[in-house]
Structure 1
Amino acid sequence: MTSKDCSGISEQSFYFAKRFYTIHTSPVLFSDKKIRKNLFLQFFYATLQNKVLYYYRNKMENKEVISTLSEIKNLMEKSSKFLSLSGLSAIFVGIYAFIGAYIAYYILDPTKITTLNINTPYRLQIIVILALILLTISLITAFYLSWIKAKKNGLRLRLDSISIRLLINFFVPLLAGGILCFSLLLQQHYGLTSSIMLIFYGIALINGSKYTYSNTRYLGYAELILGLIDSFVPGYGLLFWVAGFGLFHIIYGVFFYLKYDRRK
């Protein structure tokens, strides 16, 4: 209904109210019950129309306000957060982790299922090279799938201030953990390597979640807790590593894809 309709109904109510008052104050007309009843019903109907119109106008205005606020919120999120992450990238990273663990297990030490016996410089080199290959492939996959998602949503994947903040907040803890792990490997302290990887990776996810999807921090919490548990359970580093970087990534990637990517 338009404002014109509203004003029309208001004038109609005023007209019936005026007539009702005139009849009520007129001894001759007021004695006619049919006239009084008919006029009262007309006045009641017009008043009811006014109330219904007022209700629906307020309801429509509230919907418009909510819609406007939702649009403003989306614009603010797009301008303050990196929203081109893809759930498929997390799934692929998890798959890469399983492949890497398979290679490390069967090439380096096929006699033990839970640990890796890195007791020679050659095996250390293999581990470092394998880790760098997995990291490189994972980053390339994440970048490529993010580029596809951004293109699909009509956005440009560029290195702006938000992307820089995300990269800094994510890679500073990750780099610190990587340097610490490399130092431990050089000194042949292998026991806490997997737990340190998980802990610092979890911190990196929590730290970077401020500039992307906020639920990324839950994956960070899971990695952090798993790393702390791993530090109390010696001898099972490979299993914890596979669970954190493999299984958790796949589970989170499926959840992320179903919630954000599939509906786009």
Structure 2
Amino acid sequence: MENKEALNTLHDIKNLMEKSTKFLSISGISSILVGLYACIGTSLAYFILEKQTFPDTFLHIPLLNVATSYQLTLICLIALGVLALSLLTAVTMSYRKAKKVSRNIFKDKSVYRLLWNFFLPLLTGGILCFSLIWHQHYGLTSSIMLIFYGLSLVNCSKYTYSDIRYLGYAEILLGLIDSFVVTHALLFWVIGFGLLHIVAGIYFYYKVERQQD
């Protein structure tokens, strides 16, 4: 009986320490919404880009090319719009979830540690992608986005739910595959930022959030 009480006490202490050092107000619904935003953005990009179809292409998916600077500008605006909407959704839903447990995310040190570890690789990859676009080397931009986004998730997972690192591993692997198949960047982009986010959000909602409730 005493051993059981001691184990329960240790478990409670572990939970308290985890709550004080980790940010646990991430929403699975926000991940699903981010995935949907990415799918919508990819659909818009698909109709903007020039299409070329060859009989030996992968799954007969048309090759997509940036033919004009106007198309490039539109694609960049769509990507920035998806990013801005995704960040706004994640922050808003995390704020509401944290508020339910009387936690202010703007005064939580764990939030700043999480953000620093998330945005450092992400900004590095973003600057690298901007440099490639500036020099009109578009081929590897999608794979770099996926790889550095995956690194961001793995890097920040120690400051939130550790399961997030598995999404990061999947993004990195997908980005590496994409680097060898440079003709279908949009397909890998929608899988990585769209479908994987939706699947991860559903898993997180049913396996983590509902158990907490």
Report which structure shows greater RCO (CA 8 Å, sep ≥6): 2
Q: 1:182 to 1:115 in 2, by over 3 A?
A: farther
1:144, distance to aligned residue in structure 2 (A)? 1.0
Question: Which residue in the other structure is 1:163 paired with?
Answer: 111
Question: Which residue in the other structure is 1:10 paired with?
Answer: none
- Are 1:71 and 2:12 an aligned pair? yes
Aligned 8 A contact 2:118 2:153 in 1? yes
1:111, distance to aligned residue in structure 2 (A)? 5.5
- Are 1:86 and 2:34 an aligned pair? no
Report the RMSD for the aligned CA atoms in angstroms: 1.4
Q: 1:67 to 1:93 in 2, by over 3 A?
A: same
Question: Which residue in the other structure is 2:56 paired with?
Answer: none
Q: Distance in 2 between matches of 1:130 and 1:259?
A: 32
Q: 1:250 to 1:172 in 2, by over 3 A?
A: same
Question: Which residue in the other structure is 1:129 paired with?
Answer: 77
Residue by residue over 1:128-165, the C-alpha shift from the partner in whole angstroms, topping out at 9 and shown as x without a partner, is 11111101100010011111211223322224321111
- Are 1:255 and 2:203 an aligned pair? yes
Q: TM-score, normalised by structure 2?
A: 0.91
Q: Distance in 1 between matches of 2:133 and 2:65?
A: 12
Sequence identity of aligned pairs in percent?
A: 60
Question: Larger Rg: 1 or 2?
Answer: 1
Which residues of 2 match residues 37-48 of structure 1 at below 5 A?
A: none
Q: 1:114 to 1:68 in 2, by over 3 A?
A: farther
Question: Which residue in the other structure is 1:103 paired with?
Answer: 44
Q: Distance in 2 between matches of 1:67 and 1:158?
A: 32
- Are 1:203 and 2:151 an aligned pair? yes
Amino acid at match of 2:177: I
Question: Which residue in the other structure is 2:193 paired with?
Answer: 245
Amino acid at match of 2:68: T
Q: 1:228 to 1:121 in 2, by over 3 A?
A: same
The answer for unaligned runs of 5 or more in structure 2 is 54-60
Aligned 8 A contact 1:115 1:237 in 2? no
Q: Distance in 2 between matches of 1:166 and 1:71?
A: 23
Aligned 8 A contact 1:114 1:239 in 2? no
The answer for unaligned runs of 5 or more in structure 1 is 1-59
- Are 1:183 and 2:124 an aligned pair? no
Q: Distance in 1 between matches of 2:181 and 2:68?
A: 24
Aligned 8 A contact 2:50 2:67 in 1? no
Q: 1:124 to 1:244 in 2, by over 3 A?
A: same
Aligned 8 A contact 2:24 2:161 in 1? yes
Aligned 8 A contact 2:41 2:78 in 1? yes
Q: 1:110 to 1:234 in 2, by over 3 A?
A: closer
Amino acid at match of 1:87: G
Q: 1:114 to 1:239 in 2, by over 3 A?
A: farther
Q: 1:248 to 1:75 in 2, by over 3 A?
A: same
Q: TM-score, normalised by structure 1?
A: 0.74
Aligned length: 205
Aligned 8 A contact 2:22 2:160 in 1? yes
Q: 1:68 to 1:115 in 2, by over 3 A?
A: farther
